[in-house]
Amino acid sequence: MSEKLVKEIPPKSEDISKWYISVIRKADLVDYAPVKGMMVIKPAGYAIWENIQKILDKEFKKTGHTNAYFPLLIPESLLNKEAEHVEGFSPEVAWVTMGGSEELEERLAIRPTSESIICSMYSKWIMSWRDLPVLINQWVNVLRWEKVTRPFLRTTEFLWQEGHTAHRNKEEAMEETLRIINIYKNFIENVLAIPVIMGKKSDKERFAGAVETYTVEALMPDGKALQAGTSHYLGENFSKAFDIRYEDKDNILKYVHQTSWGVSTRLIGGLVLTHGDDNGLVIPPKVAPTQVIIIPISRGNWKESVLPVAEKVKETLENEDIRVKLDEREEYTPGWKFSEWEMRGVPLRIEIGPKDIEKNQVVLVSRVDREKRFISIEKLVDEVRKFLDDIQNSLFEKAKKFRDEHTKSTEDLEEFKKYMKEGRGFIKAPWCGDEKCELKIKEETTATIRTIGEEAKEGQKCIICGKPAKFVPFFAKSY
């Protein structure tokens, strides 16, 4: 899209941060709250989150999960039970120390994540192999005292879902961990139209308290990677710390194997960054709160001629469960409305004017590239569906093309550094598996291991130490 019609949005290519802030605020997704790092998710933004919830929740239910709610406050003693977990999270925990004017005997953590409180309950609930698996999810807010914040991408408080499951053995827990990360991958790619790389985290990048962390990583237009979702195999780490045991068929008491997994409102930030352009937001049809905006062309006696047709079109689409709005406001010109709804990211526009009425047609216009399709009113529903599908696909293809073009392979550190300086992106480079080399790469290039990638081939050498490589990770600078 060449023409820039929306004023006050700085070009995405020039300063993506300014662009990002400007778009989310102009599209009315978010506002800053009075407390540092906290945001108000406004109706337009929350509607996207509701659609994310609706679609993901269905997937969780389909795979046997149920929702519950665990408390916001976690006693310090519980949080402290799993050593690695505390160490990982304690720097960013906010504490409640007063109740009214009384100082509390034990301070209470505002949940940064809920493993500890949920495990403390699981230890009461799980007795027998017949109680397993436990497959519980909750949609809640969590709080992490972050030093650097950005709306959606990293906020002090954020909304997410966290699944916490308990299983009889490693195999079942591992299967669950992978089932979930695949649900995330499919959702993020098919619904949010953001291509991701799926894989395992290195020991250093792993979730605090986990045995293995699986992640889906998306590449943003500035070449930085966004961790979009994670699924952890917790092994027996928490069950041992919280004494979650069950009596198995063989009469032996065993520790459960657990998983936990989550995606957050960060996904909205990823969506904005990935698809937006100089005219504002672009929301993929499958999550768009409004998929179609109808703009009647207000000329002459349009209220008698055009408006009734527009209303009929709206009704027809509504009956087909297409999320549609009609902008019949008189105080704005059609041109203004075009720009306004483009900025808000509505993927498909229908223009209906006097000329169209004569020809018994309507004009469909894509948000992505302003492609116009003139279609006869009889074919409305099919054509709208088809166009929405095309837009959904083209957004994914466009993002995938960018991702692929910004994924490079190298076995040379200098070339690695050069890639990081010019344009950035994912870089695949062989690594021996040693954390020291991982740290060295970060120091030299600012890139970290996003996923450890596939196993190295015979003869590939670590880019730092030159010893035989174990893996070929995806490196990138991260959000």
Chain positions 212 to 271 lying near RNA, rule: CB under 7 A, are 227, 230, 264-266
- Distance (Å, whole) CA 268 – CA 228: 10
Q: Length of the chain in residues, anyone? A: 479
- C-beta of 147 vs 457, nearer to RNA: 147
Query: Contacting RNA (CB under 7 A), which of 63, 66, 77, 92?
Result: 92
Q: Does 479 bind RNA (CB under 7 A)?
A: yes
Among 124, 299, 312, 421, binds RNA (CB under 7 A): 299
Decide if residue 297 touches RNA (CB under 7 A). yes
DSSP 54-93: HHHHHHHHHTT-EE----SEEEHHHHTSSHHHHHHHGGG-
Q: What is the DSSP string of 220-283?
A: -TTS-EEEEEEEEEEETHHHHHHT-EEE-TTS-EEEPEEEEEEEETHHHHHHHHHH-BTTB---
Residue whose C-alpha is closest to residue 389's, from 186, 191, 185: 191
Rounded least distance, CB 417 to RNA, Å: 13
Q: Which of 49, 60, 207, 471 binds RNA (CB under 7 A)?
A: 207
CA angle 408, 413, 418 (to 5 degrees): 60
Taking the complex as a whole, the smallest distance from the CB of residue 254 to RNA amounts, in Å, to 29
Tokens encoding 180: 């979930």
What are the tokens at 251? Answer: 């009469």
Q: Which of 82, 327, 356, 438 binds RNA (CB under 7 A)?
A: 356
Q: Please name the amino acid found at residue 357.
A: I
Q: Which of 65, 144, 164, 428 binds RNA (CB under 7 A)?
A: 144
* Shortest distance in whole angstroms from residue 199 CB to RNA: 14
Q: Are strands 426-428 and 471-476 parallel, antiparallel or unpaired?
A: antiparallel
Task: State the Cα–Cα distance between residues 298 and 332, nearest whole angstrom.
Answer: 9
Positions 31 through 50 that interact with RNA (CB under 7 A): 32, 35-38
Interaction between residue 114 and RNA (CB under 7 A): no
Verify binding: residue 377, RNA, rule CB under 7 A: no
Nearer to RNA, 133 or 217 (CB): 217
Using the rule CB under 7 A, is 379 a contact of RNA?
A: no
Can you name the residues that pair with 143 across neighbouring β-strands?
157
**Smaller CB separation from RNA, 235 or 353:** 353
Of 169 and 305, the one with the shorter C-beta distance to RNA is 305
DSSP conformational letter for 34:
S
Selected range binding RNA among 42-50, 53-61, 84-92, 115-123, rule: CB under 7 A: 84-92
Contact region with RNA (CB under 7 A), list: 125-133, 285-293, 411-419, 439-447? 439-447
Span interacting with RNA, options 144-152, 170-178, 249-257, 312-320, rule CB under 7 A: 144-152
Task: Please choose, from the candidates 216, 271, 225, 229, the residue with its C-alpha nearest in 3D space to the C-alpha of residue 395.
Answer: 271
C-alpha distances out from residue 109 to 76, 106, 231, 407, 434, Å: 6, 10, 23, 41, 35
59-67, 70-78, 170-178, 362-370 -> range binding RNA (CB under 7 A): 362-370
> Encoding tokens for residue 11?
């070009």
21 vs 109: CA distance, rounded Å: 31
Measured from the CB atom, the residue of 206 and 255 that comes closer to RNA is 206
| Per-residue mark of binding to RNA, 145-164 (x: CB under 7 A) | -xxxxxx-xxxx-x------
Residue 325 in the binding site for RNA (CB under 7 A): no
Residues that bind RNA (rule: CB under 7 A) add up to a total of 67
User: By C-beta, is 66 or 360 nearer to RNA?
Assistant: 360
Question: Which residues on neighbouring strands pair with residue 318, listed in sequence order?
Answer: none
What is the rounded distance in angstroms from the CA atom of residue 350 to the CA atom of residue 181? 37
Interface with RNA (CB under 7 A): 5-8, 17-18, 20-21, 32, 35-38, 88, 91-92, 144, 146-151, 153-156, 158, 205, 207-208, 227, 230, 264-266, 279, 297-299, 330, 332-336, 338-340, 342-343, 349, 351-356, 363, 365, 370, 442-443, 446, 477-479
